[in-house]
Amino acid sequence: MSVISTSSHPIQVEHLYAISKSITQTLEWKRALDDISNLVRKIFIFDNLVVYRTDPNQEVMEAVYARATGRGRSAEADSAWGETAAYEAVQSQKTVLTDPVTPETANRLERPYVLGIPLSVGPQVLGAIIFIRFGGPVFTPESIELAEYISRQITLLIERQRIQEEYQILEDQHKQSRLQQDFVSTISHELRNPLGFIKGYTTTLLRSDTQWDQVTQVEFLKIIDQETDHMQELIENLLDSARLQAGQLRFQFQLVRLESLMNDVITRANLHHPDLVFNLEIPQALNPIVADPVRLAQVIENLISNAIKYAPGSDISITINQEDKKSIITFSDHGPGISEHDLPFIFDRFYRSSGSPTIHGSGLGLYICKHIIQAHHGELSARSKVNEGTSFTIILPGLP
């Protein structure tokens, strides 16, 4: 294919430069295509421009971008005109020209001139670009050459988009595999550690050559009890995470009174942590909601247990409001907070922030919480400021 000769198209150079610039500088490819079609309109007549992408086997063609300039009708409706030409261009890997079947009809919209150009990188065909002129003018060799030039530019854009998509997939896979590797070492540590304590203290208590006084025995048993709780929590989280992955986490929805559910959870938490201070605020009488009380309590317990772990010594403020039928529950602590770098990822499976390697955990808690709330058609989000604290908000829908 020949390169457009700048000397024969002096006015076009500026536009062509603008097109290339738009391609190299606009990251969002549909916006770049909008920019390009605006620029192309100034030097090239068309009613419709449609970009088709094809799968690697060239079996499925999909219109990924359609634009009508105003002379035609709607871009989406008219894009159907180009399908055959797009398919032919992809199959033949050549520019395809289709003249109107009924050139004598008075209705301009029934006389489409269609130009189809394959979008290819080396031997690989990525799709086709279609220009449609309703009622002419016919595509001259010079205008075809210009359209081919534009198509080569659009190919670059699509190719760059494809590379970006591939890179994104690889980056996600890379992140997941790294998290999984960290997870294996975290889990081995999290299982071995309490098991070591349990085994050690039990063996010590059972020693026949030593008599332990009652205070010491109770102290050792408390440690065994605590460590067993950690293991149990970890195993429950692992099972829930596996159930979530398999789509088998079951829910039993029923009418729930948030106020009494919250009071029950707080009472239970205070049994284990008598020094923990809760500031519960419920400014208005609450309507019941539909929820799974066991799973919802699990989420609240998890948020409380995180506050205990990551914001030790801090009060926990909980407010429940109802607005527009929605229930909004906020949990706030005044702990060290979560860094901006970690905050976007704390709901990811296995994610643990870099600052918490010495605190027990698996990176599964918030991931499970988020999914439980989503199963209630609700939302769970977090806000945090380093050295000020963290707050989690649960939004749950009300009765229809």
* Chain contacts with ligand ADP (rule: CB under 6 A): 306-307, 310-311, 333, 335, 338, 346, 351-353, 356, 361-367, 390
Give least dist CB 334 to ligand ADP, A.
10
Dihedral-angle region of residue 247 (phi above 0 means left; psi in -120 to 50 means alpha; beta otherwise): left
Strand pairing report for 278-281 and 316-323: parallel
Give least dist CB 186 to ligand ADP, A.
8
| Residue placing its CB nearer to ligand ADP in the complex, 145 or 379 | 379
Give least dist CB 366 to ligand ADP, A.
3
Helices (H), the chain: 12-25, 29-41, 75-79, 83-92, 141-206, 214-245, 258-272, 293-310, 365-375
By beta carbon distance, the residue nearest ligand ADP is 361
| Residue placing its CB nearer to ligand ADP in the complex, 352 or 376 | 352
DSSP assignment of 48-69, as one string?
EEEEEEE-TTS--EEEEEEEE-
| Residue placing its CB nearer to ligand ADP in the complex, 139 or 367 | 367
| Residue placing its CB nearer to ligand ADP in the complex, 112 or 336 | 336
Query: Token pair for residue 163?
Result: 């590379």
Give least dist CB 187 to ligand ADP, A.
11
| Residue placing its CB nearer to ligand ADP in the complex, 82 or 361 | 361
Partners of 131 in the β-ladder: 49, 115
| Residue placing its CB nearer to ligand ADP in the complex, 103 or 312 | 312
Give least dist CB 130 to ligand ADP, A.
49
**What would you measure as the largest C-alpha separation in the chain, in angstroms?**
111
Give least dist CB 374 to ligand ADP, A.
15
What dihedral angle (degrees, nearest 10) is formed by the CA atoms of 40, 41, 42, 45?
110
CA distance 332 to 279: 10
Angle of helix 141-206 relative to helix 214-245, nearest 10 degrees, comes to 160
Give least dist CB 335 to ligand ADP, A.
5
Interacting residues of 85 by C-beta distance below 8 A, sequence separation 6+? 96, 98, 114, 115, 116, 128, 130
| Residue placing its CB nearer to ligand ADP in the complex, 278 or 367 | 367
